[in-house]
């Protein structure tokens, strides 16, 4: 038996996954990744959230993270040397936000969160990806 014939026989023995099975497997993988992300975020911020607080969402923008609890936003800046900087903003203090959407070749957008006044309390410059888009939808629901 030649190698070509052997490969063909083995290929034919391989079960074919239907589109529905593929979608189900992909959705299960996505749910597991989300659960893992929430668990990792819980460990990361366990010292700065209250007993009654629960983590609802975790969004990643490049090296930064935005963790949304049922009471506040926690911005984790990982770019500052080897340290992590945590900025916490209670929902009751957020007055508005803005999102700069680039046009042309640039892919970097800028999200600004305001807690009163003309100067943003938090500015995040990041590539516009699904994470930042979902996060803006959460902000829209909260404010």
Mapping DSSP to helix (H, G, I), strand (E, B) and coil, where does residue 23 land?
Answer: helix
Residue 8 lies inside a defined structural domain of this protein: no
Whole-angstrom distance, CA of residue 90 vs CA of residue 142: 11
Q: Does residue 133 form part of some domain?
A: yes
- Give the pLDDT score at 104: 73
How do residues 6-37 score in pLDDT, each as one tens digit? 777 777 777 777 888 889 989 999 889 888 88
Residue 50 confidence (pLDDT) above 80? yes
In this predicted structure, what is the pLDDT of residue 56?
Answer: 85
> Is 6 contained in some domain?
no
Distance of alpha carbon 65 from alpha carbon 53, whole angstroms: 18
77 in a domain, yes or no?
yes
- Full-prediction pTM beyond 0.75? no
Q: Residue 39: give the domain boundaries.
A: 23-142
Residue 13 lies in a domain: no
Give domain status of residue 43, yes or no.
yes
CATH number for the domain spanning 120: value is 2.30.29.50
**What are 89-117's pLDDT values in tens digits?**
998 898 888 888 877 777 777 888 888 88
Under 8 Å between Cβ of 127 and 62: yes
Q: In which band, very low, low, confident or very high, does the pLDDT at 129 lie, cut at 50, 70 and 90?
A: low
Q: Is residue 7 part of a domain?
A: no
In 3D space, the residue among 77, 98, 110 whose CA is nearest the CA of residue 143 turns out to be: 98
Domain count, the chain: 1
Instruction: Using the predicted structure, report yes or no on whether residue 130 has a pLDDT greater than 70.
Output: no
Q: Is residue 15 part of a domain?
A: no
């Amino acid at each position: 038996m030649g190698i070509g014939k052997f490969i063909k026989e083995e290929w034919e023995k391989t079960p074919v996954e239907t589109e529905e099975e593929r979608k189900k497997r992909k959705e299960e993988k996505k749910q597991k990744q989300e659960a893992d992300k929430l668990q990792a975020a819980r460990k990361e911020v366990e010292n700065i959230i209250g007993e009654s607080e629960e983590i609802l969402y975790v969004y990643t923008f490049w090296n930064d993270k935005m963790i949304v609890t049922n009471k506040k936003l926690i911005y984790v800046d990982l770019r500052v040397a080897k340290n992590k900087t945590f900025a916490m903003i209670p929902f009751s203090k957020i007055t508005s936000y803005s999102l700069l959407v680039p046009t042309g070749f640039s892919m970097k957008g800028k999200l600004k969160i305001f807690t009163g006044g003309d100067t943003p309390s938090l500015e995040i410059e990041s590539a516009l990806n699904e994470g930042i888009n979902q996060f803006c939808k959460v902000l829209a629901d909260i404010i």
